[in-house]
């Protein structure tokens, strides 16, 4: 069985950030700051934070401080638990920002925009597709700048 | 030369079989490695979700959700049996079927009505042979279970439970904690059992010291269906992994057995050949003797 330690970093000023998906462990690294995207806005997590569990929205996840070359991931919903300086993100889909293909993302955005909105059911589906496409689009845009 | 020749023929046949079993062993080993990696990759995620559910169960003791409200009485049980599509894997399917029959008998003795769903052709035909009524047979999930396919199935199960078609889902499958140890399991997946904290292993969190966004109940609403899905997926992965391990060992012992048989057969062949030569020589000699005496 997996006997990987889930221990917190030795340095009390650091966090351990893990992103887990059903297919693989996308990321497991030490950092001093993590910003997650909740349903109603962003939330920063630093070392020594009060334990918390939250539901994630569709959006970017940042590892590291903004002025120190942070790493970005696209995360599609799921949950985050922060306790004892370990941040665990559980999501069904997580992609590193540099692995997003700008052309494919632009395509997806265009496809989402042209989805029909004639019934409430369809409108809901379009909203979800738009959320996903826009979140990816923003990440791609931020990287090209 | 009749006997020696039949022995030679058999030896050749066994040599061919050995080639096949060796190849099958190699294939099973390669597939096992893949299945093992997939199972390992999912384990982390499953464990993570399990810890979340456990923590939330502690934080929100009053929370109720249709997926984990225990039923007062169980009338109908859905039994999902995970077997394989292909044979030649030792006692793998037979063991699963035996376990299924036992579980069926036990559940019926308790007075439950049991619906049976089977994944894998082998298990289905074995159960049919024993006159078990089967609701559905899934043949696309046994070899290489994919997340999207299992998700669809899981969604259907959750809908059926909430609609009250049955009150409990149990899965019969083989799990492999290590390569050397397979264990048959009958696990109740729905309604989800409330995780019990293991004493000494885990300090239950204190509700006052936790932040929950947006709220415990809202997180649980979203979390429990995902938890069930990934648990079901894990069962399918474990079953596929165990099948490959069983086949690997079955083919390994078959190959070893052919080596032994070849040894025995070649000894018998030499002996038969020798006897034949001796008797032929005796015939020639006695013939010559007889001719000499006539003169």
Residue B208 has pLDDT above 80, yes or no: no
| Residues B42 and B160 occupy one common structural domain | yes
CATH of the domain at B237: 3.40.1380.10
Q: What angle do CA A29, A31, A35 make, to 5 degrees?
A: 105
Inter-chain touch B55–A81, beta carbons under 8 Å: yes
Least-confidence region, from B51-60, B110-119, B241-250? B51-60
When pLDDT is cut at 50, 70 and 90, the band that residue B1 belongs to is low
Q: Which residue of B has its CA nearest to A4?
A: B44
Q: What is the pLDDT of residues B230-253, one digit of tens each?
A: 999 999 999 999 999 999 999 999
Tell me whether A79 touches chain B (CB under 8 Å).
Answer: yes
Whether residue A4 lies inside any domain: the answer is: no
Tell me whether A44 touches chain B (CB under 8 Å).
Answer: no
Residue B203 has pLDDT above 60, yes or no: no
Of the residues A1, A17, A55, the best mutation for testing chain B's interface (the one with the most B CB atoms within 10 Å of its CB) is A55
Which of chain A's residues have a Cβ under 8 Å away from the Cβ of B147?
Answer: 22-23
Tell me whether A28 touches chain B (CB under 8 Å).
Answer: no
Tell me how close the Cα of A119 comes to any Cα of chain B, in angstroms: 23
Whether residue B85 lies inside any domain: the answer is: yes
Q: Give dist(CA B54, CA B48) in Å, integer.
A: 10
Residues in chain B: 295
Residue where one domain finishes, among candidates A97, A112, A127: A97
CATH of the domain at A22: 2.60.15.10
Report the residue from A22, A39, A43 with minimal CB separation from B45: A22
Q: Give the model's pLDDT for residue B241.
A: 95
| Residues A129 and A105 occupy one common structural domain | yes
Q: What angle do CA B36, B37, B38 make, to 5 degrees?
A: 90
In the three-class reduction of DSSP (H, G, I as helix; E, B as strand; rest coil), residue B270 is classed as helix
Residue A2 has pLDDT above 50, yes or no: no
Least-confidence region, from A58-62, A129-133, B52-56? B52-56
Kindly give, in sequence order, each residue whose CB lies less than 8 Å from that of residue B147, ignoring residues fewer than 6 positions away.
A22, A23, B233
Which of chain A's residues have a Cβ under 8 Å away from the Cβ of B205?
Answer: 51, 83
What pTM does this model have? Answer: 0.83
Whether residue A118 lies inside any domain: the answer is: yes
Q: Give the model's pLDDT for residue A128.
A: 87
Interface of B with A in 2-31 (CB under 8 A): none
Q: Which residue of B has its CA nearest to A37?
A: B213
| Residues A36 and A57 occupy one common structural domain | yes
Q: Which residue of B has its CA nearest to A38?
A: B213
Report the residue from B45, B214, B222 with minimal CB separation from A21: B45
CA atoms within 13 A on the CB side of B239: 32
Query: Do residues B243 and B89 lie in contact, with contact meaning Cβ atoms separated by under 8 Å?
Result: yes
| Residues A27 and A65 occupy one common structural domain | yes
Helix (H) or strand (E) holding B24: helix B2-59
Q: Give the model's pLDDT for residue A34.
A: 94
When pLDDT is cut at 50, 70 and 90, the band that residue B196 belongs to is low
Inter-chain touch A81–B52, beta carbons under 8 Å: yes
When pLDDT is cut at 50, 70 and 90, the band that residue B256 belongs to is very high
When pLDDT is cut at 50, 70 and 90, the band that residue B64 belongs to is confident
| Residues B213 and B85 occupy one common structural domain | yes
Q: Domain of A63?
A: 15-97
| Residues B231 and B262 occupy one common structural domain | no
Residue A4 has pLDDT above 80, yes or no: no
Q: What is the pLDDT of residues B4-34, one digit of tens each?
A: 889 999 999 999 999 999 999 999 999 999 9
Q: Domain of B245?
A: 31-249
| Residues B125 and B167 occupy one common structural domain | yes
Tell me whether A5 touches chain B (CB under 8 Å).
Answer: no
Whether residue B294 lies inside any domain: the answer is: no
ipTM: 0.83
Residue where one domain finishes, among candidates A97, A117, A135: A97
| Residues B277 and B226 occupy one common structural domain | no
| Residues B110 and B67 occupy one common structural domain | yes
Inter-chain touch A23–B52, beta carbons under 8 Å: no
Q: Give dist(CA A55, CA A53) in Å, integer.
A: 7
Whether residue A1 lies inside any domain: the answer is: no
**Short-list B246, B226, B240, CA closest to B88:** B246
CA B294 remoteness from chain centre:
77
Which of chain B's residues have a Cβ under 8 Å away from the Cβ of A20?
Answer: 44-45, 48
Inter-chain touch A4–B222, beta carbons under 8 Å: no
| Residues B179 and B223 occupy one common structural domain | yes
Tell me whether B72 touches chain A (CB under 8 Å).
Answer: no
Report the residue from B43, B219, B230 with minimal CB separation from A79: B219
| Residues B134 and B197 occupy one common structural domain | yes
| Residues B42 and B97 occupy one common structural domain | yes
Report the residue from A21, A24, A55 with minimal CB separation from B213: A55
Rounded to an integer, the average pLDDT of B191-199 is 69
| Residues A68 and A130 occupy one common structural domain | no
Whether residue A122 lies inside any domain: the answer is: yes
Q: How many CB pairs under 8 A join A and B?
A: 76
Q: How many domains does chain B have?
A: 2
Least-confidence region, from A30-44, B22-36, B208-222? B208-222
Inter-chain touch B44–A79, beta carbons under 8 Å: no
Q: What tokens does A67 get?
A: 């002025």
| Residues B156 and B190 occupy one common structural domain | yes
Q: How many domains does chain A have?
A: 2
Inter-chain touch A54–B211, beta carbons under 8 Å: yes
Residue A1 has pLDDT above 50, yes or no: no
Which of chain B's residues have a Cβ under 8 Å away from the Cβ of A92?
Answer: 226
Quote the mean pLDDT of chain B.
89
Q: Which residue of B has its CA nearest to A52?
A: B211
A41: left (phi over 0), alpha (psi -120 to 50) or beta: left
CATH of the domain at B283: 1.10.287.80
């Amino acid at each position: 069985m997996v006997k990987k330690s889930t221990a917190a970093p030795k340095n009390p000023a650091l966090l351990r950030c893990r992103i887990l998906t059903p297919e693989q462990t996308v990321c497991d690294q030490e950092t001093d700051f993590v910003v997650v995207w909740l349903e109603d806005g962003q939330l920063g997590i630093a070392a020594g934070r009060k334990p918390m569990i939250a539901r994630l929205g569709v959006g970017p996840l940042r590892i590291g401080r903004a002025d120190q070359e942070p790493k970005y991931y696209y995360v599609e919903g799921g949950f985050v638990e922060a306790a004892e300086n370990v941040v665990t993100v559980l999501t069904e889909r997580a992609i590193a920002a540099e692995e997003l293909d700008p052309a494919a993302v632009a395509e997806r955005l265009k496809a989402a925009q042209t989805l029909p909105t004639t019934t409430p059911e369809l409108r809901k589906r379009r909203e979800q597709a738009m959320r996903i496409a826009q979140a990816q689009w923003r990440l791609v845009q931020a990287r090209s700048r | 030369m009749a006997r020696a020749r039949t022995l030679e023929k058999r030896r050749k046949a066994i040599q061919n079989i050995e080639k096949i079993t060796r190849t099958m062993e190699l294939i099973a080993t390669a597939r096992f490695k893949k299945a093992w990696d997939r199972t390992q990759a999912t384990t982390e995620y499953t464990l993570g979700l399990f810890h979340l559910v456990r923590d939330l169960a502690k934080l929100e003791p009053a929370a109720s959700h249709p997926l984990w409200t225990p039923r007062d009485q169980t009338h109908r049980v859905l039994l999902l049996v995970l077997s394989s599509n292909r044979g030649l894997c030792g006692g793998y399917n037979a063991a699963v079927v035996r376990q299924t029959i036992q579980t069926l008998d036990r559940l019926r003795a308790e007075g439950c009505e049991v619906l049976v769903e089977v994944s894998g052709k082998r298990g289905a035909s074995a159960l049919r042979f024993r006159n078990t009524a089967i609701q559905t047979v899934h043949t696309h999930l046994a070899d290489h279970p994919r997340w999207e396919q299992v998700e669809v199935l899981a969604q259907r199960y959750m809908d059926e439970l909430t609609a009250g078609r049955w009150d409990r889902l149990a899965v019969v499958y083989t799990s492999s904690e290590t390569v050397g140890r397979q264990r048959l399991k009958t696990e109740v997946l729905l309604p989800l059992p409330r995780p019990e904290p293991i004493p000494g292993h885990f300090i239950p969190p204190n509700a006052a010291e936790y932040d929950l966004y947006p709220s415990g109940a809202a997180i649980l609403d979203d979390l429990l269906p995902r938890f069930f899905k990934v648990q079901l997926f894990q069962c399918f992965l474990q079953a596929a992994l165990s099948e490959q391990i069983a086949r690997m060992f079955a083919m390994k012992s078959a190959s070893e057995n052919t080596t032994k048989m070849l040894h025995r057969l070649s000894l018998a062949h030499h002996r038969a050949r020798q006897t034949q030569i001796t008797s032929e020589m005796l015939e020639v000699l006695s013939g010559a003797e007889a001719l000499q005496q006539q003169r």
